[in-house]
Structure 1
């Protein structure tokens, strides 16, 4: 588990399951301009792009409906010295599974001899005795083998596989899975001798593990910081999918929206590599002191993970910690709103896999669990419910019957009616949907459509040749300089005549000389300015004929560097415009 930066939610990790400080990952490469012969409004994907298209189907609804319910567990750190006294909290929360670790180097200090009499091992055994199951992270590093680097020799791999077999012997059927490595797309991991083919070496370790304990417990590969589909593709190419029972990802993000798009891209990458295995979201959470917000995200993200067919998910963590004072289900022994949401979702998930209802509005999220339970959120609108009960993310009665960005859980009825929203388009909730097209605009004015690009960490709309330019759900970055810009373009094409009010908020750290922003409608400039810090867009309005575009264009000011920023732009029906809160 690691922290993430405000501007970019990419996460770094240490080689063990332990917290490190929050750091940003921003690539500083400048990109070359695209082919000059394409027209400025070219409606094509960049010919040099290699990404999957957004919204690639993952599984059919019928296939997902047949899967067992998602298992929602929680992260503990008994291996880092947590007191066994906190174990009852996991049981109080209703967690059926704990994710933890028993580091190899701590258990095997003499070759071939294993010590599972530690307090951590005993605490985990107590969890098993109470009916909970375990997902254990195991990093293939032990100073007894291969010089203390990640094992890569035949002997080192055999020794690691033997240790995993000892874990399987110790915990038996309580051991649901072993996650080999932790956030291995970050620094301080995959530490092999110089010249080693790292993907091939990692897959060889998995192959040895499978040969020794295959069928006794699930072997999980990958273990990526965020989803990391671009990184995982390198492991797929090395043959990982043939050696694992699942892929572990840590889909940390500030908002649930877009999670379905990234998971679909991951599944498409597996399909392209020839084998689909289950996805385990073995860490997810939200680092905020705002408990209602975190509780809502727990409900929303768990719902979207379940709808995408993810097999298991673990909330990080059971209790607040020194370096992570806001992420637990409990503050000490006091339950937080997140704990109430966690308990609520145990009940909801037991109803089976949810299906998103097709309601004709990408800004309305409604997922049906079982016969009569619906999780709802989206752009503001009225709501009518006949019979049943409506609760908030914690299970308490909802204060108002109004759809908004905080989820509602409606039980005991399907007699639900939704009003029309005054929101027409939103860069956050509509990310990756037909509401928006994404492009890069180069110095000559040529514009090239951007695909969803699977990078080493979070996927985004961009292209390897246009780095560091990217378009995420709540953040973006541009490239180049004022003389040779790479401008990011959000383009909304009016499907019919539209009269819109425009609201937006932007936030930038005090690095670099600012980002040059412009908003146009049908080619007419509505506003332009340089953003160097928090900025609320002044009220703007536009009339669009069918097929005309409203564009947000972001580019560098004069110099390159520090050109990442947070954003949210909302198009309202005329007369309904309002200030837009900056994403965090």
Structure 2
């Protein structure tokens, strides 16, 4: 998978920044060009200023460019996002002129976060989702029509979305007939790294999206202490998921809180060190996911190089057969390794790496985790078999009016005012939602209760675990409400419908409880609020441990 960097040379050339980028090395850049600066007279193109001519300098030493074409031109539609036939045709001719001028451009990204509100304007910004998609598709089709005549080799990317909105992208691809979109450009800012593979799998459930190449043209981290690991973990995950490109945002300091590869003095940040290490060690291979369980991530780049992270557990390796590195490329002592949830370990062997042979995972008492095991249910049994869906560690359902209602997979941005990435919910309850780490148990008051003017009827979200064997079970859970002034949230722990614990709070609830369970026991945690009330998102995590699984008390290895 190509690893690139999102530069901003279109806002001004900086030779020192470019030289430092090439040292990393950056082989692919993702940047833009303003239409209004290249076409000042209708049909006449000039690329003679620094903000347009930078592409010649960039390409002279060999790098390739994924070029974003987004903003309008005052010559057409008053400079707003193209929407008239005249402006859309002119946009396509401009795309052709750009790639004719610059051989370094081999991918055109049409639009930038077109599903959001920051990079569109005029009638397009005011349009509903259906119209927005059609405007975008018209721009993609125009760019493809004119660009392919000039250079058939250039890839035309569509979608251009913030997040991973399958519900927005599915109709876009269905309407692209005959198809011209050659890849989907996405910016999955709202998806945690460990959820990327599952959400990409939801996107792939559409026939048109199943084999559509994916280009992650922006990925970032806001945490300087974790950015290097975020870069390596994201790269490994996306490579295993079949993505073709990942561009780290930004190349250089922008002042927007995202961790760059280069600081203001062109020195490498930790993210920059990780970028260079990935280029040297991983980028020549396509990753394969070898993860042995839902709590441990292993991505193999060829037979001798692995990237690992996950729930805390010891890691033992044959010290004679391999070296270990951190995300920045620093050496790690091979006799004192331990896997952690947000720290990447890279093993590089002198021979093939084999789990159980020269790489050994220590014991982990974790047996169920609401975060690591969130699954997106299929619409029916046929789809479940066709997509080979992972099994959830819990039964998750909605409690409403005394009824248990199963969650459905909501693809993301299928309508306005919902999350822009896949989540669990129900169509009749648009404010209800459940993700791997947040929930909103917002349900209306049942009709019967309204009719009889009854008191509060509890409604909420339940996680139920079916014990697979008899023995002790340790339950660790945390719930934090984002709206302390909202309604009181009630947390109930039950075993076989019998109450074990009840807590109520407006802010935070933590549970650490050991119980005896028999095989087949139903252990549930219910998060409820009075039906008809509004509550903000609740951050949560539920983890179950088997304290007898590991001989030396591995429960202490809890995340």
> Which position in structure 2 is the counterpart of 1:462?
425
Partner of 2:538: 565
Does the residue aligned with 1:467 lie in a helix, a strand or coil?
strand
Counterpart of 2:493 (choices 500, 519, 537) is 519
Map of 1:312 onto structure 2: 245
Q: Which residue number corresponds to residue 441 of structure 1?
A: 398
The aligned residue for residue 360 of structure 2 is: 417
The C-alpha deviation readout for 1:142-172, integer Å capped at 9, x for no partner, is 2211233332333222100111011101211
Structure 1 residues 252-267: aligned runs within 5 Å: 252-253=189-190, 255-267=192-204
Match of 2:327 in 1: 393
- Matches of 2:554 and 2:507 in 1, distance apart? 26
Output the CA distance in 2 between the equivalents of 1:542 and 1:82.
64
SS in 2 for 1:268: coil
Q: 1:556·1:563 contact (CA, 8 Å) conserved in 2?
A: no
- In structure 2, C-alpha distance between the alignment counterparts of 1:580 and 1:384, rounded to whole Å: 19
Q: Does 1:218 align with 2:159?
A: no
Whether the 8 Å contact between 2:204 and 2:210 is mirrored in structure 1 is no
Counterparts in 2 of 1:122-141, with a 5 A limit?
A: 122-139=53-70, 141=72
TM-superposition CA deviations, 1:409-429 (whole Å, max 9, x none)? 001141211122111122222
Partner of residue 287, structure 2: 354
CA distance in 2, matches of 1:426, 1:142: 51
Please list every run of 5 or more consecutive structure 2 residues that lacks an aligned counterpart in the other structure: 376-389, 414-419, 446-455, 548-552
Contact 2:114 2:161 in 1 (8 A): yes
Q: Is the 8 A contact 1:96 1:131 kept in 2?
A: yes
Moved over 4 A (4+): 193-196, 575-581
- Report if the CA contact (8 A) 1:481-1:556 is conserved: no
Unaligned runs of 5+ in 1: 1-69
Do the aligned partners of 2:366 and 2:558 also contact (CA within 8 Å) in 1?
Answer: no
Aligned: 1:101 with 2:29: no
Matches of 2:63 and 2:479 in 1, distance apart?
Answer: 45
User: Which residue of structure 2 aligns with residue 153 of structure 1?
Assistant: 84
Q: CA deviation at 1:341?
A: 1.3
Cα offset, 1:195, TM superposition: 7.5
Shift of residue 97, structure 1, vs aligned partner: 0.8
1:438 CA displacement: 5.1
Aligned residues: 504
TM-score, length-normalised on structure 1? 0.80
Q: 1:160 to 1:339 in 2, by over 3 A?
A: same
Name the residue aligned to 1:227: 164
Tell me, in whole angstroms, the C-alpha distance in 2 between the residues paired with 1:312 and 1:498.
47
**How far does the alpha carbon of each residue in 1:492-539 deviate from its partner, in whole angstroms, 9 at most, with x for none?**
32333352212233333345235333333332333333343354x142
SS across alignment from 2:160? strand
Seen in structure 2, the aligned counterparts of structure 1 residues 559 and 154 have a Cα distance that, compared at 3 Å, is closer
**Partner residue of 1:205 out of 109, 130, 139:** 139
SS at match of 1:261: helix
Q: Please state how far the C-alpha of 1:557 moved relative to its aligned partner.
A: 5.1
Question: Contact 2:370 / 2:394 at 8 angstroms: preserved in 1?
Answer: no
1:327 corresponding residue in structure 2: 259
User: Which one of the candidate residues 185, 191, 194 is aligned to 1:248?
Assistant: 185
Structure 1 match to 2:302: 370
Quote the Cα distance in structure 1 between the aligned partners of 2:219 and 2:178.
23
Question: Which of residues 228, 248, 252 is equivalent to 1:295?
Answer: 228
Matched, 1:404 2:340: yes
CA shift, 1:303, in A, is: 0.6
Q: CA RMSD in A?
A: 2.5
Distance 1:241 1:327, change over 3 A: farther
Q: CA deviation at 1:376?
A: 1.0
